[in-house]
Amino acid sequence: MALDRWIALVFLIICLAYGYAAFFTLDATLPPFMKRNPVWPSTFPKVLAVLGILTSLYVLLGFEKSGEEKAPDIDYRRLWDYNLGQAVLLLSLMVLYALMLRPAGFLISTSVFLIAGSLVLGERRIILTVIVALIATGFVWYLVEGVLGIFLRPLPYFMGT
């Protein structure tokens, strides 16, 4: 079996476990007044589980490959020929972003992550990258803080709340 089908099988198992939790365990502790709502806290996890199951079955059964030539599988003997350095560096940036989100604040950590991530992926127009990252970070912060009303610390602790 090809690598994409193995990944789809693992993804199917994860989605089935997630779906079981969403359909059978999340709603058990709801208070009675919330059971009358049309949208429950488990609605989005249920939709995600169903979409994940359908997507993994689509790949597992091979429907995505009908009508097109077969793409070559990853050659494990030439694994170092791929851009593993970029992937590992990007994953490291993600971990660093998650660790720095609270101490550095949303605006600084997200901007630095977007700029560094785009540079790792090969973007060389630094001025454009900085402008886009700052606008995107400010826009997302405004949506979360201003529109949704969810407090998101914009600045580091030492700069105030």
pLDDT in tens, 14-38: 999 999 988 888 777 777 777 777 7
Structure tokens at 35: 């059971």
Which pTM value belongs to this model?
0.57
The string of pLDDT tens digits covering residues 76-86 is 677 677 777 88
Are 22 and 50 contacting, i.e. CB atoms less than 8 angstroms apart?
Answer: no
Quote helix, strand, coil % in the chain, to nearest 5. 70, 0, 30
13 Cβ neighbours under 8 A, 6+ residues apart: none
Residue 2 and residue 9 in contact, taking contact as beta carbons nearer than 8 Å? no
Kindly tell me the sign of the dihedral angle through the C-alpha atoms of 102, 107, 109, 113: positive
129-160 pLDDT, tens digit per residue, is 999 999 999 999 988 888 877 787 777 766 66
Give me 73's structure tokens.
């599988």
pLDDT at 4: 80
For residue 15 the two structure tokens come to 């989605």
Contact present, 61 and 2 (Cβ < 8 Å):
no
